[in-house]
């Protein structure tokens, strides 16, 4: 980040002109390219219009310009310090000394040549005395709670996340001496702080921070020197003279006219996230603060809190039968019986933000509507893989072969430190078709106990002087086709008995439950006559019904007569 000024007082954070008029679109002038001003969402002082990132500017993300006139939102209590977790911070509406009173603040993100650069600024009401300003960039959403505490997106007490960034700028001697420091949260839970931390230990409610950038200069602007990180990775500046304000309605306490910033009344800076190893972070919330002194242990004074990056993940799902996901998405349709299936969850993040990590929880329901009870499985996301797509992370549920019937999947991405809001897919219905069935029948002679003796289907029975022969029909229900094997059919068979050999005319019928895929009709005493049977299968949860079998005749004669 070169140190030369841009547009009089805006800090230059780009290496080459890229605006429509040869201007550098990294400065705040291009946050709102329509009229060269920053403003709150939906308008602001002087009727400015908030720009859209990437439309007439090169920003990947633009915050609202936060308007925070006294007596709005100040820190309250001795626990409101930078070395304390957000759970220890408290706020109220009230006033602070004029030199610590923040009025407006903004932030923007730029991604030139694959780098990620934060740009930020704020102004204060008065310029008497030394000035300190800090910018927190949070990886989780933080907002005010009515009880005077801070809350996360779910309404729970807000907490720091490892990797949260604090950027401090101190300007003393009327801005003649400048300093910029960048800190990163490295530990939250109580215990010894990691080596290199500013703190030795963290107690209950404390955090550990490491200073990753430090720069000091005897001027109104300062960048860090080369060391652990490249030179100019972090820069901060204040105005050395009276300058035109971003807001023409701004009224300083003294030292300038309406629509102007008094000397050292405006602060701006930049941080090359990529250069300091923080390029994979996403910050949905930023806060600007002032404190009672330059020490990081000092009590915080004024603050303003605003939305920044839209770190929102998206999830879509597909049902596949092939392990490599190369087949078509099956959801909303049907598959044949005996088909193995699994659910594929594809999670993608905000463009320019980190790739989502974490887990996906799959729910499997025994209906088409994703209602009622379900079985669940949680799977870790992996980058890439078959059917995943470039830039996405994916998870596959465990494959299984469902029984015929209806089912549905639903998958939930559980979020991570960058994507704090869980995301749930739409319901994915799928019907598993039933097996086809086949019913084969045979007429048997039987003994006195009803045991099957001889298959007499399509044959003559010789009574050999007897008055009659006991017979019964056997129905065998099987899967069609037989291979690969399926479950044993259940349900029932309906037998029709005709008093002739061609299954015509009236008949008697009976319905018999299957046992082991087989059903036997009642015993019938056949005299010197003919009969015929037909049988049909009712179907069950796994099998479609079978229509009536072919007509089975048999005939009894007495060869002794």
Domain locations along the chain: 5-307, 314-432, 436-557
Instruction: Dig out the tokens for 54 from the structure.
Output: 């990437």
How far CA 419 is from CA of 64, 109, 114, 310, 363, in Å, comes to: 20, 17, 21, 9, 21
In 10 A of CB 41, how many CB atoms?
Answer: 11
pLDDT tens digits along 335-353: 988 899 999 999 988 765 6
Cis peptide before 204 (omega within 30 of 0): no
CA distance 379 to 455: 57
CA distance 41 to 491: 66
CA distance 92 to 290: 15
Residue 476 has pLDDT above 70, yes or no: yes
CA distance 308 to 165: 14
Domains 314-432 and 436-557 share a fold: yes
pLDDT given for residue 38 in this prediction: 40
Residues in Cβ contact with 537 at an 8 Å cutoff, skipping those fewer than 6 apart: 437, 439, 475, 477, 489, 491, 492, 493, 543, 545, 546
Work out the mean pLDDT of the chain and round it to a whole number: 84
Residue 13 has pLDDT above 90, yes or no: no
Tokens 């799902």: give the residue.
317
pLDDT given for residue 414 in this prediction: 95
Least confident of 411-420, 430-439, 517-526: 411-420
Q: What is the pTM of this model?
A: 0.60
pLDDT given for residue 351 in this prediction: 65
The domain at 436-557 falls in which architecture? Sandwich (2.60)
CA distance 261 to 124: 9
CA distance 512 to 122: 86
CA distance 466 to 319: 66
Taking alpha carbons only, the member of 513, 505, 498 closest to residue 555 is 498
pLDDT tens digits along 267-304: 888 899 999 888 878 888 899 998 867 777 778 888 88
Least confident of 195-199, 232-236, 387-391, 504-508: 387-391
For residues 10 and 246, is the Cβ–Cβ distance under 8 A?
Answer: no
Strand, coil or helix: what is 303? strand
pLDDT given for residue 306 in this prediction: 84
What is the total residue count of the chain? 561
pLDDT given for residue 189 in this prediction: 87
Residue 136 has pLDDT above 80, yes or no: yes
pLDDT category at 229 given cuts 50, 70, 90 is confident
Task: Indicate the fold that domain 314-432 takes in CATH.
Answer: Immunoglobulin-like (2.60.40)
pLDDT given for residue 35 in this prediction: 31
With a pLDDT cut of 70, the percent of the chain lying above it is 87
* DSSP type of residue 523: P
For residues 212 and 221, is the Cβ–Cβ distance under 8 A?
Answer: no
CA distance 543 to 359: 38
pLDDT given for residue 177 in this prediction: 67
CA distance 193 to 159: 18
More confident position, 224 or 553:
553
Residue 37 has pLDDT above 60, yes or no: no
CA distance 74 to 417: 27
Least confident of 67-71, 319-323, 416-420: 67-71
More confident position, 186 or 385:
186
Residue 26 has pLDDT above 50, yes or no: no
């Amino acid at each position: 980040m070169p140190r030369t000024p841009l547009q009089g007082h805006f800090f230059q954070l780009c290496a080459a002109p890229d605006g429509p008029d040869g201007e550098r679109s990294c400065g705040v002038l291009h946050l709102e390219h329509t009229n060269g001003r920053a403003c709150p969402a939906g308008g602001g002082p002087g009727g400015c219009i908030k720009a859209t990132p990437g439309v007439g500017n090169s920003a990947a993300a633009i915050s609202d310009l936060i308007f925070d006139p006294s007596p709005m939102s100040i820190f309250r209590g001795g626990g409101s310090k930078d070395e304390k977790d957000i759970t220890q911070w408290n706020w109220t509406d009230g006033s602070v000394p004029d030199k610590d009173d923040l009025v407006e603040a903004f932030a923007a993100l730029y991604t030139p040549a694959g780098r990620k650069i934060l740009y930020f600024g704020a102004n204060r009401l008065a310029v008497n005395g030394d000035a300190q300003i800090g910018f927190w960039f949070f990886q989780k959403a933080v907002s005010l709670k009515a009880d005077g505490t801070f809350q996360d997106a779910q309404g729970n007490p807000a907490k720091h996340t490892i990797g949260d960034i604090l950027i401090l700028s101190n300007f003393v001697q009327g801005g003649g001496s400048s300093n910029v420091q960048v800190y990163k949260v490295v530990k939250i839970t109580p215990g010894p702080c990691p080596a290199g931390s500013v703190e030795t230990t963290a107690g209950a409610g404390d955090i550990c921070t490491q200073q990753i950038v430090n720069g000091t200069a005897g001027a109104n602007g300062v960048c860090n020197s080369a060391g652990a990180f490249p030179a100019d990775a972090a820069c901060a500046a204040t105005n050395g003279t009276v300058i035109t304000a971003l807001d023409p309605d701004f009224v300083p306490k003294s030292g300038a006219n309406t629509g102007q910033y008094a000397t050292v009344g405006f602060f701006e800076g930049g941080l090359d996230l990529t250069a300091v190893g923080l390029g994979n972070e996403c910050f949905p919330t930023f806060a600007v603060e002032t404190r009672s002194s330059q020490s990081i242990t000092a009590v915080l004074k004024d603050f303003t809190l605003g939305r920044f990056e839209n770190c929102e993940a998206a999830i879509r799902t597909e049902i596949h039968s092939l392990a490599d996901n190369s087949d078509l998405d099956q959801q909303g349709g049907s598959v044949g019986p005996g088909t193995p299936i699994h659910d594929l969850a594809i999670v993608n993040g905000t463009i320019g933000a980190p790739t989502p990590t974490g887990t996906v929880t799959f729910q499997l329901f025994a209906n088409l509507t994703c209602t009622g009870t379900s079985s669940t499985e949680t799977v870790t996301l992996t980058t890439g893989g078959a059917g995943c797509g470039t830039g996405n992370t994916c998870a596959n549920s465990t494959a299984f072969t469902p029984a015929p019937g209806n089912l549905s999947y639903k998958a939930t991405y559980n979020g991570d430190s960058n994507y704090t809001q869980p995301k749930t897919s739409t319901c994915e219905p799928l019907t598993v078709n039933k097996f086809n069935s086949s019913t084969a029948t045979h007429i048997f002679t039987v003994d006195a106990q009803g045991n099957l003796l001889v298959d007499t289907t399509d044959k003559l029975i010789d009574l050999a002087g007897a008055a009659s022969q006991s017979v019964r029909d056997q129905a065998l229900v099987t899967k069609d086709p037989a291979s690969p094997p399926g479950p044993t059919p259940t349900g029932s068979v309906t037998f029709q008995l005709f008093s002739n050999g061609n299954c015509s005319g009236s008949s008697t019928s009976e319905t018999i439950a299957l046992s082991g895929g087989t059903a036997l009709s009642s015993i019938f005493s056949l005299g010197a006559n003919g009969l015929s049977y037909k049988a049909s299968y009712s179907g069950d949860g796994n099998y479609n019904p079978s229509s009536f079998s072919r007509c089975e005749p048999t005939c009894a004669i007495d060869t002794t007569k």
